[in-house]
Every structure is written in structure tokens, then in C-alpha cells.
Structure 1
Amino acid sequence: MTSTGPDGRAGIDAALVKRLIAAQFPRWADLPVAPVAVDGWDNRTYRLGDDMTVRLPTAAGYVAAVAKENEWLPRLAPQLPVAIPQVLAAGIPGEGYPFPWSVRAWLPGETAVPERIADLPEFARSVAAFLLALQACDTTGGPAGGEHSWFRGCSPRHYADQVYRDLRNLAGHIDTARAAEVWQAALAADWRGRPVWFHGDIAPGNLLVVDGKLSAVIDFGTSGVGDPACDLVIAWTVFHGDSREAFRETVAQDESTWARARGWALWKAMLVLGGALDAGDRPQIEDNMRVIAEVLSDHARR
């Protein structure tokens, strides 16, 4: 286990990336290395020159995604309507860093925060069209949802213990009786469809926009083959009103899938809300309270 470095977790910093590149891909050794402006938790990403990035998992639990993405991203890319990461090289442990890593082509664009989106209903339709294209991809040999996907693509039942704990802890902060009803409806809506590809983390940080429109989808670390309900959570975290209806209409999922999606959204929002309350993080508290309220309201209308 490596120590925490100055720029991130697992001892990862720009100096380490420079050493890894020099040792394993010397043709790129003279290129500058710099942190990206917006980074993730599961992986650290560094800009390599103008046209590439280096992506390194921060802990052992995220390592399975490296080989999965290396194998499957090239297969999925030709079938999707917007760009996804292109893997250029596969790195191995070295220079004191214990995990496999990868070099990828740089994707232009900015993360899809609302102020960068020109037309939110149209953006919602574009995200839905991407999901439908992903679901139509050939699943032969694809990795079934499980530990590598943090159980996305499986039943939300896997997180039942967390949900029941959060329902107890959040009493007085949210309507726990209605939340429990939403959760039970999610568990009762058993998935009986054919397995399809899912992304597993359709969120603003993994959606890139250029000129206000969806241009790329990144971070397939939680992807796999199984139930696509987890990919619908963006309906409440980002979309609302006309944009939510545009997403719902375009993505065309059945009511059982939406019930499971509400379960996924409720699980994550309650989990984050609990931590935000402990930390006194007002923006996170307000945002996740809003998501929970909208999920409960959506359930009541169905």
C-alpha cells in the first residue's frame, strides 16, 4: 500500500506519472504532465501533452475496471452516438505504484453542469439516446453486474442494510415512512428483462458537453451487463419538469424499471445526505433533500 501523495490518493502525483511514462512508454517521456481541472475519486487523471490523459486507480477496489475498460471500450465505441474514452496504452505496476493503469486519448469538452447546457430537454433526449444505444450493444461475453460494478446492474436489494440504517438515522430529516414505501416498491419490482449494457454512473461529471450539447460519456468503471435501472437516476439528480419528461419519454423504460431506479436514487441520496448532515455540508444537504423529495413525489404520482 502506497502512502497518500500531495495531489491525491495512493501516492499518485504528477512526478509518479512522469516516472511511469518514462519507464514504460519512453516515446512520451518528454511530454508535460499536469492534473486535470476536475478529477474523480476512484481514479486520478493527468493530462499528458495536449492529446492524451493518464488514468490511475486510487485503490485496489477500482482495479477491476482497468482491464474491463481496456477490453470493452473499443468494442462499444463504434456503436454509440457520442465519443467515449479511447485507450491508447495499458500500463502495469511500477515505480512504487501497485496497480495497472492506462493512457487514453484526450476528449474535448466540459463537465455537464446545468449552466453549460444550452437546452436541458434536448440534452435529456441526447442522454436517453445514448443509453438506448448502449443497451442495444452486443452483450456476448460482457461482464455481468457484480462486485466490479459496485453491484450496478443488479438488484438494489444489495444495499438494503445501508438503506434501513439510513431510514433510521434520517428520521426527522425526511419522510421516512414514504421513503420506506419507495424502497419496498423498488424491491418488489423484480427485473425480468434481458441483460443489456449499462454505464452505472450517468452523472454530470461523466458527461461532457461542447457548445452546450452532449459530446462524450466517460468513466465506464461501473459498467457491465444487467439491469439498466441504475442509469435512470439522472432523472432526479439533474433533470426536472420538461427535461425529466423528455428523458422519460425518450428512454422508454417500463414502470418496473422506473420503480427500481427510484430505489437506486433513494439509496444514494440518503447515503450522501447522512454524511452531509454529519459534516454540516449545506449544499449537499439541500441537494440530496431535493432529490429525495422529488423521488418520493414521483413515486406518489405513479
Structure 2
Amino acid sequence: MHDDQADVTAHVAATLIRDQFPQWRGKAIRPVASTGTVHAVFRVGDDLSARFPLRPADAAEALAVLEREARASAELARASPFPVPEPVALGRPGPGYPMPWSVQTWLPGTVAFDADPSGSDAFAEDLAAFVAALRGVGTRGRRFGGENRGGVLAHHDDWMAKCFAESEGLLDVDRLRRLWSRFRELPRTGADVMSHGDLIPGNVLVLGGRLGGVLDTGGFGPADPALDLVGAWHLLGPGPRDVLRRRLACDELEWERGKAWAFEQAMGLVWYYAESNPTMSAMGRRTLDRLLGSAE
């Protein structure tokens, strides 16, 4: 999926796991088929998973990121009313893989790519309850300090210009430019709240038509209150989307900013993963279609 992607084979993963964590030598190591774009994932027995970052990075910097993500995941686990993975261990670089990696608990369920919950009001109620619980944690004085989604919309103009250029021939770029020109001007009124930051189908588990768990929790942190509203557009159809909006009592401005963050994310997915990860690219298209439909 990425030009510089690390090749993490099942043999390499199994060797690292068994060498560094001898207590798990009796557990089967199995690759997990995934549409994820950040990690190669392997089951470790029935109750654990090992996650190997795909993009090369300095080992010390990568370790700092994994440690920060582990702290964020542990904090989110204390707040979440739904199951989330919990950090278990950090692995070291070794033969065949030059970076640190992580182990966390495994959750049962089917990702929303494969068990579409878009028509379920009950799922929308669950998703709203999850977002509300995170918002209720309190930032303890922390503020958004990153460069990704969650800060100032207009700071993404350069990225959006690249997305529009790369999307020529794939999308109705002129129409999408006009929509971004409106989104980028939306003012910010609410203070930062704690946010998951990436509520896409691959990070949400469905069990019995309800929210069964939430994955990829290492980005938990303070951000624009509208950021987690991307889930309304990535995951839900019109009726359930309205359920989520009412449950979270979103005013018009917050709701529109949620659209803007979903738009920013979807635009990048369509062209970047057009050939390397068609499922993610198709998700971006579907989200853009929903956003354009809501603007008509």
C-alpha cells in the first residue's frame, strides 16, 4: 500500500514473538486479513494480537510513538463503555524487522467493512454513547497539538490541493473543490474534547448488529469536538445518522465541521488507495457520495 512499506511475513512475526516472549511459544501465530493501512496484524493464540508498523521509522522514534499510543489506549479503555483492545507488551527490533512493535488484547467481532451497520438505529445509539463517553473524560488541560485531523480545517489546504490534483479523472474535482472552499471557512466554537480520532469501518466491530468494540485506540486525545462525527458519514445511512446527531445534541456548526473532517479524510483515501487497497478507496467514495447527497 505504501512505496516504503515493510514486508512483515508470518515467519518473521512468529520468530520475533516466540523469541522475545517465550511465555507465548505454545500459542498459534496467524496473520489477520485486514484492510488496515498502518499495521500488519497477527493473532497470538485466541486472546492476543501483535501489531507491526508498516512504515519504516527510526527505532527510537517509533518506540516513543508506541509508548504514547499504549498510554492513550489504556486511558481510553478506562473510559469506554464498549470493549477496546488493551496494551499488553512492546516488542523489540529483531531479525527481519527493524522496528519496535506492540501486543494487545484481541476482541471478537466483525469489522464494519464486513458487517455493514449503516441501517441500524441501535448501532447509531451505541456509537453515540461511545463518543459521548470519550467526550466526558475531560482533557485535563491538554489541547490538540498534532498536524492531522482535529485542529484547524484551513491548515489542510495544501493536502487538499494535492488530493484534488491526484483525483483528476477519478472524481468530480470541480464540485469537490467548491465544497471544500465552504468547509474550510467553518469557524470553530467549542473547546477540545477527548476523541478517538478515526472512526472508520475498519476500526469498528459489529456483534449482533450492535457496536461490539472499537479498535485502533492509540490516537485517543484532545481534538475538535466535531472530529468523531466522521463516524456519522463513514458508518451510517441517513436515518441512523440523524439518530446519532440527536443523541449527541449536535448544533448546525458542529455537524457541518464533522462533515468537513470526513471530507478531508475521504478525499485522501480515494486516490491514494485506488490500486493498493480498493476497499479503503471505495469507502472514501461512499463517504463523499453521502456528503454530496447531504449538500443537495
TM-score bucket (shorter structure): 0.7 to 0.9
Cα deviation, 1:223-257, whole Å, max 9, x if unaligned, reads: 32121323212322331221111121112223222
Higher mean alpha-carbon deviation, 237-246 vs 89-98, is at 89-98
SS of aligned partner of 2:226? helix
Any unmatched runs of 5+ in structure 2? none
One-letter identity of the residue aligned with 1:133: A
Instruction: Provide the residue aligned with 1:77 in structure 2.
Output: 77
CA distance in 2, matches of 1:15, 1:142: 41
Higher mean alpha-carbon deviation, 278-287 vs 40-49, is at 278-287
Please tell me whether the aligned partners of residues 73 and 220 of structure 2 are also in contact (alpha carbons under 8 angstroms): no
* Aligned-pair CA distance for 1:145: 4.1
Instruction: Provide the residue aligned with 1:210 in structure 2.
Output: 207
Instruction: Provide the residue aligned with 1:190 in structure 2.
Output: 187
Instruction: Provide the residue aligned with 1:140 in structure 2.
Output: 140
**1:279/1:108 Cα in 2 relative to 1: closer, same or farther (>3 Å)?**
closer
Instruction: Provide the residue aligned with 1:176 in structure 2.
Output: 174
Instruction: Provide the residue aligned with 1:295 in structure 2.
Output: 291
* Aligned-pair CA distance for 1:43: 0.7
One-letter identity of the residue aligned with 1:257: E
Q: CA RMSD in A?
A: 3.1
CA distance in 2, matches of 1:223, 1:143: 12
CA distance in 2, matches of 1:76, 1:196: 13
TM-score by length of 1: 0.82
* Aligned-pair CA distance for 1:288: 4.5
Cα deviation, 1:202-226, whole Å, max 9, x if unaligned, reads: 0111111222211110002443212
Higher mean alpha-carbon deviation, 112-121 vs 207-216, is at 112-121
Q: How does 1:1-302 map to 2 (within 5 A)?
A: 9-60=5-56, 63=62, 65-113=65-113, 115=115, 117=117, 120-140=120-140, 144-147=144-147, 151-167=148-164, 170=168, 173-174=171-172, 176-177=174-175, 179-275=176-272, 288-300=284-296
Higher mean alpha-carbon deviation, 249-258 vs 116-125, is at 116-125
Please tell me whether the aligned partners of residues 6 and 54 of structure 2 are also in contact (alpha carbons under 8 angstroms): yes
Cα deviation, 1:39-79, whole Å, max 9, x if unaligned, reads: 52201110011211111111146936422221122222122
One-letter identity of the residue aligned with 1:112: A
SS of aligned partner of 2:85? coil
CA distance in 2, matches of 1:257, 1:67: 32
**1:221/1:157 Cα in 2 relative to 1: closer, same or farther (>3 Å)?**
farther
